[in-house]
Amino acid sequence: MNHAHILHASLGCLLTLNHTLCVFILASLSVLSHANHTEVAPEPVTNSVGSPGNAKEKLALEDLRAFVKAFNHIRSAYVEEVDDSTLLKNAVKGMLSELDPHSNYLEPRHFQDLQETSTGEFGGLGLEVGMEDNFIKVISPIDDTPAKKAGIKTGDLIISIDNQPIKGLDLGEAVKKMRGPKGSEITLSVVRQGVPQPIEFTLIRDIISVVSVRSEMLSQDYLYIRIAQFQGKTGIDLKELLATRKQQQSINGIILDLRNNPGGILQSAVEVTDAFIEQGLIVYTEGRIAHSARSYFASNTDVSYDEPLIVLINGGSASASEIVAGALQDHQRALILGTTSFGKGSVQTVIPLSELHGIKLTTARYFTPHGRSIQAQGIDPDIIVEPATITKIDTGKKYTEANLQGHLTNKNLADDENIDNPLNVDSSNNSVLTDDNQLYEALNILKGLHILSLENK
């Protein structure tokens, strides 16, 4: 079989059996790599029904010829010998790395990492990361992990690991360097916007057990729910939590905190949204392959929770978090507060190439119910509240009518309420005020929404 026939067979695979394209072409290239360098005039390219190929197909043929030439030169002339398997694997890595930051080659360990992340327990530092300009960008530190406790923030660029520069490494290799046994030490150097010099962090690796859903009651029966990551049981856990809290006490409003939530499983995001709306479209996806066009609708057969709802987002809220925030915003079910989200509006599919290797490929974009694409834009909050440090001003002792000697009592108050001590100030929210101004603002707005809901009944 000459060069042209082999390339025609490869191109026919492209036209008819996309899923076997990589395997077939790589097998063809292996044959070509052992052939001589005789130039063969290209024959007319035919598709699966025998019609002449178009100019685009002929261009692909020439590109394949160029690839084979490069492959042969590298394997025969590079200063050190490189085996064919490594060269071909690197070729696949190169194709994926030039597509988008979320498409990549999966070594055997990465299959395991994906499974561990979806179940919520894995070893490491507790960072959700991506690639940007050949550096590792922190999408989000995960709650209660070494990275979060050390002070690593969303948007930080990791430039070295244990004093070794990481520029040029692919994402999988960098993540592998950050993994390690519990108790082992690692040093990260990061560049942070607004800080002139790199910041160095020394962390101790730990087993990362991500609690997907946690909650607490704020003042006056307001429920705070934090979702750190969308795992397989997140939707079920949320609905069970809401049912239990409702049985225990009345709830005047809910704050759903999705800040620094890097996303996770799409179906879990649908189930979380489903807890708060009764019907309607939640999200839909569009892509080139047949199975990429899907729509997800609310199908809540249980009680939908209709209390006033505020969703907190920020630049670390990505993917599944944006699906939830965008759907609730489009349905006018929640008030979105915080800062613009990360803007990851794409869907990745894991495609096995063998029992040990595979690729993670971006196959679709997702859209909110109103048709908004979040890709590279994010969800804009209804109310922008930048993170800030707020200090309460102590105005000293407060004097009112009740402090005046001989003041008249209020007949509508019980005797114990007429005690001359009006200086008891509720300080239950002081820590929220000083530590988390976004949550504090959300709570104040939620109280106002609750009052308005009572007036409208």
Q: Which residues are catalytic?
A: 319, 330, 344
Alpha-carbon distance 131 to 337, whole Å? 27
Does residue 259 contact residue 316 with C-beta atoms inside 8 Å? yes
- Tokens at residue 157, please? 């660029």
**In sequence order, which residues have a C-beta less than 8 Å from that of residue 433 and are 6 or more positions away?**
390, 392, 440
Q: β-strands 294-297, 185-191: how paired? A: unpaired
- Tokens at residue 169, please? 């490494």
Q: Helix 84-97 and helix 21-33: axis angle, to 10°? A: 140
- CA torsion sign for 413, 414, 420, 425 is negative
Q: Where are the alpha helices (DSSP H) in 249-318?
A: 266-274
Q: Three-state SS for 133?
A: coil
Q: Where are the alpha helices (DSSP H) in 249-389?
A: 266-274, 320-330
Alpha-carbon distance 116 to 123, whole Å? 9
Give whole-number Cα distances, 187 to 125, 150, 161, 176, 333, in Å.
11, 11, 6, 14, 44
Q: Which DSSP state fits 379?
A: P
Amino acid residing at 7: L
On the CB side of 335, CA atoms within 13 Å amount to: 21
On the CB side of 11, CA atoms within 13 Å amount to: 26
Compute, in degrees rounded to 10, the torsion defined by CA atoms 81, 87, 89, 92.
Answer: 160
236: how many CB neighbours lie within 10 A of its CB? 13
Alpha-carbon distance 442 to 254, whole Å? 10
Alpha-carbon distance 191 to 157, whole Å? 5
Alpha-carbon distance 60 to 46, whole Å? 13
